[in-house]
Structure 1
């Protein structure tokens, strides 16, 4: 049997038993999941715009009038009493209590049925390089193949069946919050979905090309019989208002073959995927089935080079498939259920940020267009949140959003409306986009206006203590507790003001405004260190630490803003390291930690790259493997044992790999800063760094004590070189002078 085994991809020898384990592909608007059962297969169509209105009233309560009293109760009696007061006032206005966003939902389930009960030589695969999904098997010596991709060129889901007899049908969802009607016209199925609680909905158009097809009696599918390959094209068209519906017309004229459609798509997808490449294994190793590779890693009790390469590729594949019209949500662009965990929404207090963590360094900057588009669509709600909760101008971001940017996800136990740094964290990528691309038009028209809105909020929200120092009251360290001056609040405000000052200087704006921003920066409180020598999570004097927690919010200056390092502020760096060590002891490496959490492990890894802890990187990788935190597609789970399909870990994985190999911040180029012993050699190509730097090739061999670097900058600049794990290697390589658009090569002997 001759079948395709992808070198850059995964395959397994059994069908999926649950939707989370399906093959996945996407183009940033449409997504598809294929279960792969030869007898009774299911193709699940997804679209990034499908969020099912629940009929909840998203009316933000008018809380600004109670802010002064709320703050007074905080000062006199503490946060518990204040929250009780605040929540009661909201309830008196009709606030219903903590609401989830409208949930992400599938667009359709298309069932493909055959009489192929006695099949053998089964295989299903994802080719990350092309986005093609393939299912193959044999029946009575005949090979049957099913191929699927989501076209980057036509924006359709394309499916091909081998010649034969099939029955295909659309599932009647029987979903009480949608009305579903179907009809067939010639070779086209058209199903229309109206949302009960909004004027929106969507249409599904499925066109079937086969030599002989008969409609089913209920007009939800066809009986197919064909001596030629059967081509099925599927499309989801969402709309917000009935008047926005496009006119559905069956396609006429000559239909291109699957192969021609695939060739046009493949060129676009492959270009995106091939921009960056990690090479840690041989093709023979890459062609092994995914669960064999996982078993080998479990037996070795550590990540293997070939499995890390697969997980790295899977992370970039997830982003390519899920980012485009919008940005990846908790589940990327995929779901098979109407009841996803946390609504499968855009969760902004850590998850969205991790899902896009590797976009810029992976040379996928255009993938962030959907992120910027999403935030722009949510801005009216963000403005309303700021005005109604705090009487402030500017923006207050939500913790959870889908169809609305209004903040309705909070109560006494989860006071996320007190988490005011969300918009500032989102703004991190607005300025990073400029740092990676040098796009001053984007800086002026997108980055600066958003940063200015955040600063407007700070001007109205921040209080001043007697000595003129700002105080964040209320304040919340997501999702770990309340207390004045949460460290993340201060860190994000510092980054926002720093980036806005830099942007004004770059664009030649007036010194008057720059000086006003600098005055605000100078009023921000200093970080504090507790009696154990650790960076405090809250600056409230009598508030203790809760180290047993999955969030790493107070280490924002380390893993995200890169505010300081061991050279620029050794005291604060050491305090941050102690705080990190205590989090590791109480949570990450503690079997009795409060929960398992892939996003917590990824933030641990992003901190470990900065603290140059290669053994910890190995530990984190081992935990993911030992606890079965991914499916056969290598899309990850939120909890251990494949519990809850969730892609934030996938988005973060490429960034972890980049940072442990080659990293840049504070004018310092760090090489092999956290390279684990399990990855003794390899090559990576195409990584992008801030300040418009491209790493064309980076090769390392720890056994031979050598590394080679080919690097290029689009601007003239000088970098210091840093090899923290190989101190003696830096003696004759203190600085690297990069000349615009000139490649430079380095060959370094690593000190043992």
Structure 2
């Protein structure tokens, strides 16, 4: 790897993690999709937080009582326009029957601690995350000795690999494992629960740490020194290293297991491992790079400057985000995704594998935008296979979803509660804004549909996707009601997580949900309409589903048209009684533009212009990190590159830590997001949905794709005059392009992985120019915006405008 590429794919820190009381927010992350580490980077007292995707705790699951009569009562009150009374019916019924539901939370597994013996003042401190290798390196100098510590999580061997090196044989350190410490009461609570089960000891060259979770299973870490050219002494729970110049260690993290069994297996595995750090790294890198380089992006052509994260953030804070920072954030979001999930593990979580509290705020999987946002980027980025974890997770919860539908609504099929955690899909978060929202299963099915169109995985289609969609269809068919004009009426209906303006009877300063239960949310219609069309597309030629296909076609005849309010914007609720409210972060009613595609071809019609108006009317002070990413995606779909870039600028100026983790909101009271002071203990929680949403936004600005059309550079901002992307995926192939808007040229390559007919739509700055196309024969054609290609599987074409 060249020095230039090393910086392109690296994060550089000039100081250690330093977020007050929550250093993990600034730590550099690494992971293999199952185990994650957070490297704090302190010179003297190092901490490496270790997490495991299967370790969850502190949930409470109860038997769900039958409150299905509440649907009839809610509808009667809504018919009488008693919205405030209708709002509470189902939630109150559950509370009145004593129902308690607490979702599980990710549990930090433990800390690897390193106390360096050397004294002195450090110089030339540097910490670096190499995204191309998944390696975190901390280095410094002291008294003319060079120090370096390196860590990665192996995809090949499933272990954390850690090396310490010095330029002279004076390395001394105490190394141990312990319960993860926080600065909050959650640590005291957890310690009290597990103190009798904690095992923490050192023997020979090995470290053992374990505790018992509330479900009776064990979690922990076993570590071993593979090589050390100095002295090693086991001292109670520590390994003491002296007079060394290089030490390599490995650590096996585990959860939901029996400690003694894991110890035996790990000890045998350690004997078979390469003893060389570089050999272990090389095997890991081969697997890691296959994922990391599935696509690439270049926005910054200046390869001379090598700014640290701190410098890039200061520049963004003053002037807006540079192409260099946005290019880095695109690679970083993808790095986080492949480090935080895999096809056979848990789906990507709002904290990834790097949460550092026991009671993390909003740490569950939320389907009213958050988990979807983290997967928007996956298909185009070449990560369709990784989406398998998302499908497995939700299909495995269908038993809970059936019970929800039956006992909350008295209906067949499945009802997906917005929040869930592994093994826990029963109704939870018993508040109206959650209990009365019915869009989750339909929205999730759009990701399942996209997975299939990219992978053509027939087994998953028939064993998982279609069974899920059939039961979703059953619920929606039973839930929707035909009005006197023959149109569907959806009620109760939530537009997450907003309240109609005329029902918002208390100050809506931040997060409150005054009375969200209403009728005919535009989002509900958009989701269900898209769901029906996707079902038809999947099953049109499958004889076993002929009846259901005809049912879907009939249902589509009864959907009302989207409505425009008096200000020229799409109404958020398709009901004359309900007024729009703009001080809010969710943009649910814009679903037909993004993430849906229903209205994209009509973006310049009066209805399309009304969607643009709806985006513009959202008030900046009511936004969050993730909503700014959502807004960027919407602006990209609307062809407004400069506006999309402005949203990305706002994220980089308000919602990034020094590790480039995205936060839910700004904590500095600068007016660019909502302010959570006084609302929550953590006034600026990490939410990595914006990291991944930003990736999706940049991709949408550079390429729009559906089953028939590829639009090149559909929302290119003025500041991105030059650039390139490679191997962006569409459902039947990949496309790579390079452009120079100032000089007026574009060239690219299109590869078909399946037989396809596809239309290329070229950007406006090429209008009137000619394009040379090389396929089975060379064609020279005057550009009239679009060209259609019929490609065989494996065929490649190139094009170059003149």
- Give the alignment's TM-score, normalised by structure 1: 0.91
CA contact (8 A) 1:151 1:262 kept: yes
Q: Helix, strand or coil: the match of 1:644?
A: coil
CA RMSD of aligned residues (A): 2.5
Which residue of the partner structure matches residue 575 of structure 1? 610
Alpha-carbon distance in structure 1 between the residues aligned to 2:258 and 2:206: 24
For the Cα contact (< 8 Å) 1:286–1:306, is it kept in 2? no
Q: Indicate which of 124, 134, 148 corresponds to 1:121.
A: 124
Does residue 1:232 correspond to 2:249, yes or no? yes
Structure 1 SS opposite 2:250? strand
Q: What corresponds to 2:335 in structure 1?
A: 317
TM-superposed CA distance for 1:444, in Å, is: 3.0
Q: Is the 8 A contact 1:203 1:238 kept in 2?
A: yes
Aligned residue in 2 for 1:358: 377
Q: Secondary structure at the match of 1:639?
A: coil
Q: For residues 727 and 78 of structure 1, what CA distance do their matches in structure 2 show?
A: 56
Give the Å deviation of 1:550.
Answer: 0.4
**Residue from 741, 750, 757 that aligns with 1:702:** 741
* Contact 2:722 2:741 (C-alpha < 8 Å) held by counterparts: yes
- Aligned position for 1:679: 720
1:105 to 94, 107, 128: 107
- For residues 671-712 of structure 1, the C-alpha deviation after alignment (integer angstroms, 9 at most, x for no partner) is 22111122110111010023x1310x2111111011112112
Of 140, 144, 148, the match for 2:147: 144
Question: Once the 2 structures are TM-superposed, how far is the Cα of residue 27 of structure 1 from its aligned partner?
Answer: 0.8
Preserved CA contact (<8 Å) 1:3 1:136: no
Q: CA deviation at 1:536?
A: 1.1
| 1:581-617 Cα deviation digits (max 9, x unpaired) | 222xxx23xxxx23x4111001101110111112212
- Cα distance in 1 for residues equivalent to 2:3 and 2:615: 48
How many Å separate the matches in 1 of 2:532 and 2:417? Answer: 21
Cα distance, 1:101 vs structure 2: 2.0
Matches within 5 A, 1:92-491: 92-96=96-100, 100-116=102-118, 117-162=120-165, 164-172=171-179, 175=190, 176-178=192-194, 179-196=197-214, 198-209=215-226, 210=228, 211-217=230-236, 219=237, 221-225=238-242, 227-239=244-256, 250-251=267-268, 253=271, 255-256=273-274, 257-282=276-301, 284-285=303-304, 287-299=306-318, 301-324=319-342, 325-342=345-362, 344-412=363-431, 414-480=432-498, 481-491=516-526
1:49 aligns with 2:63: no
CA separation of 1:242 and 1:227: change in aligned 2, threshold 3 A: closer
Pick closer, same or farther for the CA change 1:287–1:167 going to 2, 3 Å.
same
Query: 2:666 — aligned with what?
Result: 640
Do 2:178 and 2:200's aligned partners in 1 also have CA atoms closer than 8 Å? no
Q: 1:442 to 1:572 in 2, by over 3 A?
A: farther
Cα distance 1:85–1:507, how it changes in 2: closer, same or farther (>3 A)? closer
For residue 614 of structure 2, give the secondary structure of its aligned residue in structure 1.
helix
Match of 2:756 in 1: 716
* Alpha-carbon separation, structure 1, partners of 2:102 and 2:80: 32
Deviations 1:50-106 (A, max 9, x none): 21124x24332311133212221222242311233333322221024xx55222121
Partner of 2:571: 536
In the superposition, relative to structure 1, how do residues 286 and 84 fare at CA in structure 2: closer, same or farther (>3 Å)? same
SS in 1 for 2:403: helix
Whether the aligned pair in 2 keeps the contact of 1:113 and 1:168 (CA below 8 Å) is yes
What secondary structure does 1:482 align onto?
A: coil
Q: Deviations over 1:206-260 (max 9, x none)?
A: 223345332333x3x2212253522221222211799997855523636422111
Closer/same/farther in 2, CA of residues 568 and 350 from structure 1, 3 Å limit: closer
Higher mean C-alpha deviation, range 712-721 or range 608-617: 712-721
Partner of 1:91: 95
The structural deviation recorded for 1:416 is 0.6
1:612 is aligned to 639
User: What's the offset of the Cα at 1:725?
Assistant: 6.6
Distance in 1 between the 2:77 and 2:43 partners? 64
Q: Counterpart of 2:800?
A: 747
Structure 1 segment 499-578 matched on structure 2, within 5 A: 499-567=534-602, 570-578=605-613
Question: Offset at 1:298?
Answer: 3.9
Q: Distance in 1 between matches of 2:212 and 2:616?
A: 52
Q: Work out whether residues 312 and 657 of structure 1, in 8 Å CA contact, stay in contact via their aligned partners in 2.
A: yes
Q: How far apart are 1:363 and its partner, in Å?
A: 0.6
Task: From the superposition, tell whether residues 146 and 694 of structure 1 become closer, same or farther in structure 2 (CA, over 3 Å).
Answer: same
- 1:491 and 1:556 in contact (8 A); partners too: yes
Q: Classify the secondary structure of the residue corresponding to 2:533.
A: helix
Query: Is residue 45 of structure 2 the alignment partner of residue 40 of structure 1?
Result: yes
Moved more, 108-117 or 321-330: 108-117
Deviant stretches of 4+, over 6 Å:
240-246
Residue 641 and residue 67 in structure 1: after superposition, are their counterparts in 2 closer, same or farther (change >3 A)? closer
Contact 2:48 2:111 in 1 (8 A): yes
Q: CA deviation at 1:488?
A: 1.0
Gaps of 5+ in 2: 181-187, 499-515, 669-683, 770-781
| Residues in 2 aligned to 1:580 and 1:725: alpha-carbon distance in whole angstroms | 26
CA separation in 1, counterparts of 2:372 and 2:763? 28
Q: For residues 624 and 718 of structure 1, do their structure 2 counterparts lie closer, same or farther at Cα, with a shift above 3 Å needed?
A: closer
Determine if contact 1:385/1:407 at 8 Å carries over to the other structure. Answer: yes
Determine if contact 2:763/2:785 at 8 Å carries over to the other structure: no
78-87 vs 267-276, which deviates more?
78-87
Q: Give the 3 Å change call, closer, same or farther, for CA 409–540 of structure 1 in structure 2.
A: farther
Aligned length: 728
Find the residue that maps to 2:210 and give its secondary structure.
strand
Q: Contact 1:424/1:493 (CA < 8 Å) preserved in 2? A: yes
**Residues 137 and 144, structure 1, Cα contact 8 Å, conserved in 2:** yes
- Runs of at least 5 residues in structure 1 that lack an aligned partner in the other structure: none
Of stretches 28-37 and 570-579 in structure 1, the one that deviates more from structure 2 is 570-579
Equivalent residue for 2:15? 14
Q: Secondary structure at the match of 2:174?
A: strand
Report deviation, 1:366.
Answer: 1.8
User: For the residues of structure 2 that align with 1:703 and 1:536, how far apart are their CA atoms?
Assistant: 40
Structure 1 residue aligned with 2:31, among 15, 26, 34?
26
Query: Is the contact between residue 592 and residue 600 of structure 2 (CA under 8 Å) also seen in structure 1?
Result: no
Which stretch shows the higher mean deviation, 467-476 or 331-340? Answer: 467-476
Decide whether the 8 Å contact of 1:363 with 1:687 is kept in 2. Answer: yes
Q: Matched residues in 2 for 1:460 and 1:517: separation?
A: 13
Instruction: Tell me, in whole angstroms, the C-alpha distance in 1 between the residues paired with 2:62 and 2:612.
Output: 42
Shift of residue 533, structure 1, vs aligned partner: 2.6
Give the secondary structure class of the aligned counterpart of 1:148. strand
Cα 1:424–1:177 change in 2 (3 A) is farther
TM-score (norm 2): 0.86
Aligned position for 1:660 = 701
- Residues 603 and 725 of structure 1: CA distance in aligned 2, closer, same or farther (over 3 Å): farther
Partner Cα separation in structure 2 for residue 236 and residue 8 of structure 1: 27
Q: Is the 8 A contact 2:231 2:241 kept in 1?
A: yes
Which residue of structure 2 lines up, in the alignment, with residue 738 of structure 1?
790
2:262 and 2:71 mapped to 1: Cα distance? 44
Shift of residue 513, structure 1, vs aligned partner: 2.8
SS in 1 for 2:580: coil
Q: How far apart, in 1, do the equivalents of 2:402 and 2:204 lie?
A: 49
Deviation at 1:552, TM superposition (A): 0.8
- Helix, strand or coil at the partner of 2:172: strand
Q: Paired residue for 2:690?
A: 649
Distance 1:514 1:542 in 2: 34
